[in-house]
Amino acid sequence: MLQKLTKGIMFLATMVAVPYTVALLSNILYGWPARKNKFKRALSPRKVLALNYTCLQLVYRNFKYAPLWLRWTKFYRSLDPKFVRKNLAYGSHEQTMDLYLPQGVDLSQPRPVVVFIYGGAWSNGNKKMYGLLCSEIANKLRSLVCCPNYSLYPQGYVDDMVQDVVDCVSWIHQNVADYGGDKSVDSVNGKDRGVLRDSRQLDSELMGVVKDDLTDQSVLKDQKEVDSIEESLIVVKAGEGDEVVDDTIEEINSDDSSVETVLPNDAEKSQSLAELGEKIKAVIGLAGVYDISDHFQHEMSRGIEDVSRMTRAMYGEDHFDRFSPSILCQNIVNGSCLPKFVLVHGTEDHVVPLTSTTKLAEVLTDKFADITVRILPGCDHYEVCLDLMEPNRKCYGSVMGIIMETATKALKKIIINI
């Protein structure tokens, strides 16, 4: 009897000790809450349980994608130099990008350009992870695909990330013709980003605009439609937030000097932000965060709002609206000339709720933008992006079909981002 009681006590002690140990380590590694009663807040039972559940989800995710990680690592190391230009320097922050070239395509005729901006909670990620994905898009769309590294927290903040995206687009306009790309039209594709006038409004995950069209995917059935591309296109990011520039968007005044206005690198030689924005024909958002305040509340429900890097990367909670596409887009003048927007989200996404996309969709619909929302049944936050790496993956056909369809519609005769 005593032995059973001892085992029961030890089991209960373990059930308490392990979750609280995880919570302690998480806060030691990533920081305690920057508020009063920080220890009470960080170690509250509800938050500890929610944090541990999220940690278990992350462990499961890492095991699930371990084989794919091995494949994309091997692929990037063995890339044929004929089809990729690695580590091209760009921008004021001395970043680098990779430029993927389509196989079996005559580059004497300018090809469209896709910019893929990866996500990673504003603090993680590297272009080396996306060689498979970018190569797949390049060959499928018969286009050039640019994948830039950009500033990540703590080395940079959100406005540094925005600056890097602006510098990347500027570099493409000035140099992509040397690699067989058409600078006249660009496409930005990514996981989490946006489109607005002042570069301070470019958040780290805005990629598309929305229309009330909750339909399924459609795939181009005739590859000849892809071959007819005559201009380039810029697609902006997949999975945490960014934006483009337009003179019609009202100025957002700020008395906070910590957030600087973003300009193209070497501005005297570059086009204005508005001119660069006009080059973008389509923006595709993959499961992006478009309202920072709403996402902070979602992080609270998962117990990670204090260990997450998001608040720190945004200069604190007081600046959430400054970097939220769904807020910034409210300043767009109705009827403004904007690129085509497509927002993609999965129904099983528990990292970024579906309401993030639908809320931005409503705002852009009110601005009479050309917007489409695509909801993918059974697709989670990671599958929306990572399944583009291999044709046999569950969501590949859906997401790739949306990308190809968007490009075709955006440029009439052309094809096309987290």
Q: Identify whether residues 18 and 116 lie together within a single domain.
A: no
Give the single-character DSSP code of 240. S
pLDDT for res 340 = 86
Q: Identify whether residues 52 and 109 lie together within a single domain.
A: no
CA neighbor of 131 nearest in space, from 192, 72, 82, 69: 72
Crossing angle between the packed helical segments 355-366 and 292-302, to the nearest 10 degrees: 170
76 located within any domain: no
Q: Identify whether residues 57 and 205 lie together within a single domain.
A: no
pLDDT for res 193 = 41
Please identify, among 64, 94, 115, the residue that sits at the C-terminal boundary of a domain. Answer: 64
Kindly state the helix (H) or strand (E) to which residue 302 belongs, with its residue range: helix 292-302
Give tens-digit pLDDT for 151-179: 999 999 999 998 998 899 889 988 988 88
Please identify, among 34, 64, 94, the residue that sits at the C-terminal boundary of a domain. Answer: 64
SS3 content of the chain, % helix, strand, coil (to 5): 45, 15, 40
Q: Identify whether residues 160 and 21 lie together within a single domain.
A: no
* Residue 57 identity (one-letter amino acid): Q
188 located within any domain: yes
Rounded Cα distance between 188 and 160, Å, is 18
75 located within any domain: no
pLDDT for res 106 = 84
Q: Identify whether residues 134 and 53 lie together within a single domain.
A: no
Q: Identify whether residues 143 and 233 lie together within a single domain.
A: yes
Q: Identify whether residues 373 and 285 lie together within a single domain.
A: yes
415 located within any domain: no
Q: Identify whether residues 52 and 187 lie together within a single domain.
A: no
70 located within any domain: no
Give tens-digit pLDDT for 197-206: 232 233 323 2
172 located within any domain: yes
Rounded Cα distance between 202 and 189, Å, is 14
Q: Omega before 377 cis (within 30°)?
A: no
For the chain, residues with pLDDT lower than 50 are: 11, 185-186, 193-236, 241-263, 267-268, 413-418
CA 274-345-343 angle, 5° bins? 25
pLDDT for res 207 = 29
Q: Identify whether residues 183 and 42 lie together within a single domain.
A: no
373 located within any domain: yes
pLDDT for res 197 = 27
Q: Are 373 and 361 in contact (CB under 8 A)?
A: yes
Domain extent at residue 288:
85-410
Structural domains of the chain, count: 2
Rounded Cα distance between 340 and 410, Å, is 6
210 located within any domain: yes
Q: Whole-angstrom distance between the N-terminal and C-terminal Cα of the chain?
A: 58
Single pTM value for the model: 0.78
Q: Identify whether residues 251 and 342 lie together within a single domain.
A: yes
Q: Identify whether residues 135 and 2 lie together within a single domain.
A: no
Rounded Cα distance between 392 and 380, Å, is 16
Q: Are 156 and 167 in contact (CB under 8 A)?
A: no
Q: Are 205 and 241 in contact (CB under 8 A)?
A: yes
Q: Identify whether residues 18 and 136 lie together within a single domain.
A: no
Q: Which residues contact 283 (CB under 8 A, 6 or more apart)?
A: 187, 188, 189, 193, 194, 195, 206, 207, 208, 209, 234, 235, 236, 244, 339, 340, 341, 342, 417
CA neighbor of 407 nearest in space, from 195, 145, 149, 108: 145
pLDDT for res 184 = 53
Q: Are 262 and 199 in contact (CB under 8 A)?
A: yes
CA 206-281-189 angle, 5° bins? 40
What is the CATH number for 270?
A: 3.40.50.1820
Beta strands, E only, 211-361: 234-239, 280-286, 340-346
